[in-house]
Amino acid sequence: MIRIVEVMWLVIAALSATEVFRSWNVDRQRAYISLAFVALGIFMFWFRRRSRLRYESRANKEQDN
């Protein structure tokens, strides 16, 4: 389930990136908002992935003990 959330953040970033390219010359304000969502999506993917890997590492250490 956690991996699905990670992938969803990447999908949000990708959809926002396409919106940036579509609206850059038409509505610059909307493009900037979409660009913020691209950054948020990438950051949240990175943050959730790091958290998941840390959690899995701790769970593996507890299983080994």
Tell me the pLDDT tens digit for each residue of 1-31: 889 999 999 999 999 999 999 999 999 999 9
The structure's pTM equals 0.85
- What totals of helices (H) and strands (E) does the chain contain, helices first? 2, 0
The dihedral of CA 4, 5, 6, 12: what is its sign? positive
Cα separation, 45 vs 13, whole angstroms:
9
Residue ranges of the domains in the chain?
2-64
pLDDT at 65 over 80: no
Does residue 16 contact residue 45 with C-beta atoms inside 8 Å? no
